[in-house]
Protein backbone atom coordinates (compact mmCIF):
# COMPACT_ATOMS: atom_id res chain seq x y z
CA UNK A 1 0.00 0.00 0.00
CA UNK A 2 3.02 2.32 0.24
CA UNK A 3 3.07 2.51 -3.56
CA UNK A 4 0.07 4.86 -3.49
CA UNK A 5 0.32 8.54 -4.38
CA UNK A 6 -1.56 11.65 -3.32
CA UNK A 7 -2.26 15.06 -4.87
CA UNK A 8 0.09 17.92 -3.96
CA UNK A 9 -3.09 19.75 -2.87
CA UNK A 10 -2.68 17.93 0.44
CA UNK A 11 1.02 18.80 0.72
CA UNK A 12 0.23 22.48 0.10
CA UNK A 13 -2.44 22.29 2.80
CA UNK A 14 0.06 20.85 5.30
CA UNK A 15 2.45 23.75 4.69
CA UNK A 16 -0.11 26.54 4.46
CA UNK A 17 0.33 27.94 7.98
CA UNK A 18 4.05 27.23 8.36
CA UNK A 19 5.21 30.65 7.12
CA UNK A 20 3.09 32.47 9.72
CA UNK A 21 5.29 31.11 12.51
CA UNK A 22 8.58 31.68 10.70
CA UNK A 23 9.16 28.29 9.09
CA UNK A 24 10.55 27.82 5.58
CA UNK A 25 8.21 25.57 3.51
CA UNK A 26 10.96 24.96 0.95
CA UNK A 27 13.23 23.58 3.62
CA UNK A 28 10.49 21.29 4.93
CA UNK A 29 9.89 19.99 1.40
CA UNK A 30 13.59 19.34 0.76
CA UNK A 31 13.97 17.66 4.15
CA UNK A 32 11.30 15.18 3.06
CA UNK A 33 12.71 14.78 -0.46
CA UNK A 34 9.79 16.48 -2.20
CA UNK A 35 10.63 18.75 -5.11
CA UNK A 36 9.37 22.32 -4.41
CA UNK A 37 8.70 22.61 -8.14
CA UNK A 38 5.95 20.00 -7.82
CA UNK A 39 3.94 22.39 -5.63
CA UNK A 40 3.45 24.60 -8.70
CA UNK A 41 2.38 21.83 -11.08
CA UNK A 42 -1.35 21.37 -11.56
CA UNK A 43 -2.28 17.73 -11.05
CA UNK A 44 1.14 16.77 -9.65
CA UNK A 45 1.36 13.96 -7.11
CA UNK A 46 3.78 12.65 -4.49
CA UNK A 47 4.16 9.29 -2.79
CA UNK A 48 2.02 8.53 0.25
CA UNK A 49 5.13 7.85 2.33
CA UNK A 50 6.68 11.24 1.60
CA UNK A 51 3.40 13.00 2.27
CA UNK A 52 3.09 11.27 5.66
CA UNK A 53 6.66 12.21 6.56
CA UNK A 54 6.00 15.84 5.53
CA UNK A 55 2.88 15.95 7.69
CA UNK A 56 4.71 14.65 10.76
CA UNK A 57 7.81 16.81 10.36
CA UNK A 58 5.68 19.95 9.85
CA UNK A 59 3.63 19.16 12.97
CA UNK A 60 6.86 18.75 14.94
CA UNK A 61 8.31 21.98 13.56
CA UNK A 62 5.09 23.88 14.39
CA UNK A 63 4.63 22.03 17.70
CA UNK A 64 0.96 21.77 16.76
CA UNK A 65 -0.88 18.63 15.70
CA UNK A 66 -3.56 20.75 13.99
CA UNK A 67 -0.92 22.48 11.80
CA UNK A 68 -2.33 25.89 12.69
CA UNK A 69 -5.88 25.17 11.51
CA UNK A 70 -7.53 25.11 14.92
CA UNK A 71 -8.41 28.01 17.21
CA UNK A 72 -6.10 26.47 19.81
CA UNK A 73 -2.80 24.66 19.33
CA UNK A 74 -2.84 20.95 20.14
CA UNK A 75 0.58 20.02 21.56
CA UNK A 76 2.58 17.09 20.22
CA UNK A 77 1.42 13.92 21.93
CA UNK A 78 -2.29 14.81 21.97
CA UNK A 79 -3.23 12.09 19.45
CA UNK A 80 -1.19 9.56 21.42
CA UNK A 81 -3.02 10.53 24.62
CA UNK A 82 -6.37 10.07 22.88
CA UNK A 83 -5.34 6.62 21.64
CA UNK A 84 -4.42 5.51 25.15
CA UNK A 85 -7.72 6.92 26.42
CA UNK A 86 -9.86 4.81 24.06
CA UNK A 87 -7.86 1.58 23.68
CA UNK A 88 -9.50 0.14 26.80
CA UNK A 89 -13.06 0.57 25.48
CA UNK A 90 -15.07 -2.58 24.78
CA UNK A 91 -17.07 -1.45 21.74
CA UNK A 92 -16.63 0.93 18.82
CA UNK A 93 -19.54 3.09 20.04
CA UNK A 94 -17.85 3.57 23.41
CA UNK A 95 -14.54 4.39 21.70
CA UNK A 96 -16.03 7.02 19.36
CA UNK A 97 -17.99 8.60 22.20
CA UNK A 98 -14.83 8.84 24.29
CA UNK A 99 -12.87 10.13 21.26
CA UNK A 100 -15.31 13.03 20.91
CA UNK A 101 -15.37 13.85 24.63
CA UNK A 102 -11.54 13.79 24.69
CA UNK A 103 -11.17 16.46 21.99
CA UNK A 104 -14.03 18.54 23.39
CA UNK A 105 -11.92 19.01 26.54
CA UNK A 106 -9.51 21.23 24.58
CA UNK A 107 -12.24 23.78 23.73
CA UNK A 108 -10.68 24.05 20.30
CA UNK A 109 -12.60 24.65 17.06
CA UNK A 110 -13.49 22.52 15.18
CA UNK A 111 -14.48 19.73 17.55
CA UNK A 112 -16.19 16.35 16.96
CA UNK A 113 -19.65 15.48 18.29
CA UNK A 114 -21.13 11.98 18.68
CA UNK A 115 -24.77 12.16 17.54
CA UNK A 116 -27.02 9.12 18.01
CA UNK A 117 -30.23 8.52 16.06
CA UNK A 118 -32.48 5.41 15.93
CA UNK A 119 -30.80 3.81 12.89
CA UNK A 120 -27.55 5.70 12.53
CA UNK A 121 -24.73 7.46 14.35
CA UNK A 122 -22.97 10.59 13.09
CA UNK A 123 -19.58 11.95 13.98
CA UNK A 124 -20.15 15.61 13.16
CA UNK A 125 -17.67 18.48 13.20
CA UNK A 126 -18.79 21.68 14.91
CA UNK A 127 -17.16 25.10 14.80
CA UNK A 128 -17.35 28.27 16.84
CA UNK A 129 -20.10 30.63 15.74
CA UNK A 130 -18.93 32.98 13.03
CA UNK A 131 -16.06 30.74 11.88
CA UNK A 132 -15.88 28.77 8.63
CA UNK A 133 -14.44 25.28 8.48
CA UNK A 134 -11.72 24.94 5.84
CA UNK A 135 -11.70 21.87 3.61
CA UNK A 136 -8.39 20.23 4.46
CA UNK A 137 -8.67 20.12 8.30
CA UNK A 138 -12.21 18.78 7.95
CA UNK A 139 -10.99 16.05 5.59
CA UNK A 140 -8.06 15.24 7.85
CA UNK A 141 -10.24 14.92 10.96
CA UNK A 142 -12.86 12.76 9.25
CA UNK A 143 -10.17 10.66 7.56
CA UNK A 144 -8.38 10.15 10.90
CA UNK A 145 -11.49 9.08 12.78
CA UNK A 146 -12.53 6.61 10.06
CA UNK A 147 -9.08 5.04 9.69
CA UNK A 148 -8.52 4.96 13.46
CA UNK A 149 -11.94 3.35 13.98
CA UNK A 150 -11.11 0.77 11.32
CA UNK A 151 -7.78 0.09 13.01
CA UNK A 152 -9.50 -0.45 16.38
CA UNK A 153 -11.71 -3.24 14.99
CA UNK A 154 -9.21 -4.40 12.34
CA UNK A 155 -11.52 -4.07 9.34
CA UNK A 156 -12.43 -1.30 6.92
CA UNK A 157 -15.67 0.11 8.31
CA UNK A 158 -18.41 0.93 5.78
CA UNK A 159 -19.67 4.52 5.89
CA UNK A 160 -23.27 5.28 4.95
CA UNK A 161 -22.28 8.82 3.94
CA UNK A 162 -19.34 11.20 4.08
CA UNK A 163 -21.02 14.62 4.09
CA UNK A 164 -18.85 17.66 3.36
CA UNK A 165 -20.27 21.17 3.63
CA UNK A 166 -18.33 22.56 0.65
CA UNK A 167 -17.51 21.88 -3.00
CA UNK A 168 -14.75 19.37 -3.89
CA UNK A 169 -11.28 20.73 -3.15
CA UNK A 170 -9.27 17.75 -4.49
CA UNK A 171 -9.59 15.23 -7.30
CA UNK A 172 -12.35 12.54 -7.19
CA UNK A 173 -9.79 9.72 -6.96
CA UNK A 174 -8.29 11.32 -3.84
CA UNK A 175 -11.65 11.25 -2.09
CA UNK A 176 -12.16 7.65 -3.23
CA UNK A 177 -8.85 6.65 -1.62
CA UNK A 178 -9.37 8.85 1.42
CA UNK A 179 -12.71 7.29 2.29
CA UNK A 180 -12.17 3.86 0.66
CA UNK A 181 -14.79 4.26 -2.07
CA UNK A 182 -17.56 5.04 0.43
CA UNK A 183 -20.13 7.60 -0.84
CA UNK A 184 -19.02 11.25 -0.53
CA UNK A 185 -21.54 14.10 -0.80
CA UNK A 186 -20.54 17.74 -1.18
CA UNK A 187 -22.22 21.01 -0.20
CA UNK A 188 -24.11 19.18 2.55
CA UNK A 189 -25.62 20.83 5.61
CA UNK A 190 -22.92 19.41 7.91
CA UNK A 191 -19.43 17.93 7.63
CA UNK A 192 -19.72 14.46 9.16
CA UNK A 193 -19.36 10.71 8.90
CA UNK A 194 -22.59 8.71 9.08
CA UNK A 195 -22.40 5.09 10.27
CA UNK A 196 -24.98 2.38 10.74
CA UNK A 197 -25.88 2.17 14.40
CA UNK A 198 -25.26 -1.59 14.30
CA UNK A 199 -21.53 -0.95 13.78
CA UNK A 200 -21.31 0.65 17.21
CA UNK A 201 -21.60 -2.80 18.80
CA UNK A 202 -18.42 -4.07 17.14
CA UNK A 203 -15.81 -5.20 19.66
CA UNK A 204 -12.46 -3.44 19.95
CA UNK A 205 -9.85 -6.04 18.99
CA UNK A 206 -6.65 -3.99 19.20
CA UNK A 207 -4.39 -4.19 22.26
CA UNK A 208 -1.85 -2.02 24.07
CA UNK A 209 0.90 -3.93 22.26
CA UNK A 210 -0.70 -3.17 18.90
CA UNK A 211 -1.05 0.48 19.91
CA UNK A 212 2.69 0.79 20.60
CA UNK A 213 3.42 -0.38 17.05
CA UNK A 214 0.74 1.92 15.58
CA UNK A 215 2.11 5.00 17.38
CA UNK A 216 5.53 4.66 15.76
CA UNK A 217 4.09 6.42 12.68
CA UNK A 218 0.30 6.79 12.96
CA UNK A 219 0.02 9.08 9.92
CA UNK A 220 1.63 6.52 7.62
CA UNK A 221 -0.18 3.60 9.28
CA UNK A 222 -3.57 5.19 8.59
CA UNK A 223 -2.70 6.12 5.02
CA UNK A 224 -1.50 2.61 4.18
CA UNK A 225 -3.60 0.30 6.40
CA UNK A 226 -4.89 -2.59 4.34
CA UNK A 227 -7.63 -4.76 5.83
CA UNK A 228 -9.81 -6.97 3.60
CA UNK A 229 -12.04 -4.68 1.52
CA UNK A 230 -15.28 -5.29 -0.30
CA UNK A 231 -15.12 -2.54 -2.93
CA UNK A 232 -14.64 -3.69 -6.51
CA UNK A 233 -12.13 -0.89 -7.08
CA UNK A 234 -9.90 -2.29 -4.33
CA UNK A 235 -10.26 -5.87 -5.61
CA UNK A 236 -9.35 -4.87 -9.16
CA UNK A 237 -6.40 -2.81 -7.96
CA UNK A 238 -5.10 -5.74 -5.92
CA UNK A 239 -5.41 -8.10 -8.91
CA UNK A 240 -3.56 -5.74 -11.24
CA UNK A 241 -0.84 -5.10 -8.64
CA UNK A 242 -0.08 -8.83 -8.45
CA UNK A 243 0.88 -8.94 -12.13
CA UNK A 244 1.51 -5.30 -13.00
CA UNK A 245 4.50 -5.99 -15.26
CA UNK A 246 2.29 -8.17 -17.49
CA UNK A 247 -0.46 -5.49 -17.34
CA UNK A 248 -3.53 -7.78 -17.32
CA UNK A 249 -6.60 -6.85 -19.34
CA UNK A 250 -10.16 -6.50 -18.03
CA UNK A 251 -11.13 -10.04 -19.08
CA UNK A 252 -8.19 -11.59 -17.21
CA UNK A 253 -8.98 -9.69 -14.02
CA UNK A 254 -12.69 -10.50 -14.33
CA UNK A 255 -11.86 -14.22 -14.63
CA UNK A 256 -9.68 -14.03 -11.50
CA UNK A 257 -12.56 -12.39 -9.61
CA UNK A 258 -15.10 -14.89 -11.03
CA UNK A 259 -17.30 -12.21 -12.59
CA UNK A 260 -18.38 -11.37 -16.16
CA UNK A 261 -16.32 -8.48 -17.64
CA UNK A 262 -19.40 -6.38 -18.40
CA UNK A 263 -20.70 -6.88 -14.84
CA UNK A 264 -17.31 -5.87 -13.45
CA UNK A 265 -17.33 -2.76 -15.64
CA UNK A 266 -20.77 -1.81 -14.27
CA UNK A 267 -19.69 -2.47 -10.67
CA UNK A 268 -16.67 -0.20 -11.10
CA UNK A 269 -18.81 2.52 -12.71
CA UNK A 270 -21.14 2.42 -9.69
CA UNK A 271 -18.09 3.25 -7.54
CA UNK A 272 -17.03 6.08 -9.87
CA UNK A 273 -14.10 4.16 -11.34
CA UNK A 274 -13.06 2.58 -14.64
CA UNK A 275 -10.65 -0.28 -15.31
CA UNK A 276 -8.45 1.99 -17.42
CA UNK A 277 -8.25 4.64 -14.69
CA UNK A 278 -7.36 2.08 -12.00
CA UNK A 279 -4.63 0.65 -14.22
CA UNK A 280 -3.16 4.08 -15.02
CA UNK A 281 -3.30 5.19 -11.39
CA UNK A 282 -1.49 2.05 -10.27
CA UNK A 283 1.17 2.54 -12.95
CA UNK A 284 1.64 6.16 -11.86
CA UNK A 285 1.78 5.36 -8.15
CA UNK A 286 4.23 2.50 -8.71
CA UNK A 287 6.49 4.81 -10.71
CA UNK A 288 6.40 7.52 -8.02
CA UNK A 289 7.26 4.92 -5.39
CA UNK A 290 10.32 3.55 -7.21
CA UNK A 291 11.60 6.95 -8.32
CA UNK A 292 12.26 7.61 -4.65
CA UNK A 293 14.50 4.55 -4.41
CA UNK A 294 18.22 4.78 -5.11
CA UNK A 295 19.93 2.57 -7.67
CA UNK A 296 16.90 1.77 -9.86
CA UNK A 297 17.18 2.98 -13.45
CA UNK A 298 14.40 4.74 -15.33
CA UNK A 299 14.25 1.76 -17.69
CA UNK A 300 13.74 -0.66 -14.79
CA UNK A 301 11.06 1.60 -13.24
CA UNK A 302 9.29 1.68 -16.61
CA UNK A 303 9.29 -2.13 -16.67
CA UNK A 304 8.06 -2.42 -13.07
CA UNK A 305 5.28 0.04 -13.89
CA UNK A 306 3.99 -2.11 -16.74
CA UNK A 307 5.61 -0.34 -19.72
CA UNK A 308 7.48 -2.24 -22.41
CA UNK A 309 9.40 0.86 -23.53
CA UNK A 310 10.99 3.65 -21.49
CA UNK A 311 9.90 6.27 -24.04
CA UNK A 312 6.21 5.42 -23.50
CA UNK A 313 6.75 5.57 -19.74
CA UNK A 314 8.41 9.00 -19.95
CA UNK A 315 5.50 10.41 -22.00
CA UNK A 316 2.95 8.95 -19.59
CA UNK A 317 4.81 10.20 -16.52
CA UNK A 318 4.97 13.73 -17.89
CA UNK A 319 1.22 13.65 -18.56
CA UNK A 320 0.65 12.59 -14.91
CA UNK A 321 2.95 15.05 -13.14
CA UNK A 322 3.98 17.76 -15.60
CA UNK A 323 7.63 16.60 -15.25
CA UNK A 324 9.80 13.95 -16.87
CA UNK A 325 10.90 11.17 -14.49
CA UNK A 326 14.48 12.48 -14.76
CA UNK A 327 13.44 15.99 -13.64
CA UNK A 328 11.22 14.58 -10.90
CA UNK A 329 14.05 12.44 -9.50
CA UNK A 330 16.56 15.31 -9.72
CA UNK A 331 14.31 17.41 -7.48
CA UNK A 332 14.15 14.76 -4.73
Alpha helices in 134-231 (DSSP H): 135-153, 172-178, 208-214, 218-224
- The backbone torsions φ and ψ at residue 32, rounded to the nearest 5 degrees and listed phi first, read -105, 15
Pairing of strands 161-164, 184-186: parallel
How far, CA to CA in Å, does 140 sit from each of 93, 144, 160, 192, 219? 21, 6, 18, 12, 10
Instruction: Say whether 242 sits in a helix, a strand or coil.
Output: helix
Give the CA diameter of the chain.
Answer: 58
Answer left, alpha or beta for residue 193, where phi above 0 means left and psi between -120 and 50 means alpha.
Answer: beta
HSE (side-chain half, CA atoms, 13 Å) at 81: 11
Does the global pTM surpass 0.85? Answer: no
174 has a pLDDT exceeding 90: no
104 has a pLDDT exceeding 70: yes
At residue 2, the pLDDT reads: 55
Q: Find out whether 156 and 178 touch, Cβ atoms under 8 Å.
A: no
Give the pLDDT band of residue 109 (cuts 50, 70, 90): confident
pLDDT tens-digit map of 20-36: 999 999 999 999 989 88
Domain boundaries, the chain: 5-62, 78-208, 232-330
Give the pLDDT band of residue 60 (cuts 50, 70, 90): very high
Q: Give the dihedral of Cα atoms 257, 258, 262, 267; nearest 10 deg.
A: -50
259/205 Cα distance (integer angstroms): 33
- SS3 sequence, 115-139? EECCCEEEEEEECCCCCCCCHHHHH
Q: Which residues, including other chains, have CB under 8 Å from residue 243's CB and lie 6 or more apart?
A: none
At residue 321, the pLDDT reads: 80
124/165 Cα distance (integer angstroms): 11
Q: Find out whether 5 and 48 touch, Cβ atoms under 8 Å.
A: yes
Q: What is the DSSP letter of 243?
A: T
The mean per-residue pLDDT over the stretch 224-237 comes to 78
Q: Which residues, including other chains, have CB under 8 Å from residue 194's CB and lie 6 or more apart?
A: 120, 121, 122, 159, 160, 161, 162, 163
pLDDT tens-digit map of 63-99: 999 999 998 899 999 999 999 999 999 999 999 999 9
The mean per-residue pLDDT over the stretch 163-172 comes to 88
122/301 Cα distance (integer angstroms): 44
Residues of the chain with pLDDT > 90, as a percent, come to: 62
At residue 332, the pLDDT reads: 61
276 has a pLDDT exceeding 60: yes
Q: Find out whether 188 and 73 touch, Cβ atoms under 8 Å.
A: no
149 has a pLDDT exceeding 60: yes
149/209 Cα distance (integer angstroms): 17
3 has a pLDDT exceeding 80: no
19/161 Cα distance (integer angstroms): 35
Structurally, what CATH architecture does the domain formed by 232-330 represent? Orthogonal Bundle (1.10)
Give the pLDDT band of residue 111 (cuts 50, 70, 90): very high
Amino acid sequence: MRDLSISVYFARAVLRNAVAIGLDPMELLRKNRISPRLMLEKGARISIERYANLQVSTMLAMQDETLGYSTRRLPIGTWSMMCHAVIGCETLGQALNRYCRFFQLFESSPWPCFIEEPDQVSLRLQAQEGTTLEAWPVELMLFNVHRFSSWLVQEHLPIQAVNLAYAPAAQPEDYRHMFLANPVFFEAQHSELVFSRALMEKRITQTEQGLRHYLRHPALMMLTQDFPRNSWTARVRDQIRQSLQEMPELGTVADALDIHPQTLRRRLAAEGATFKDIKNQLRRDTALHFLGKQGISIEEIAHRSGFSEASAFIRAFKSWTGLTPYTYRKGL
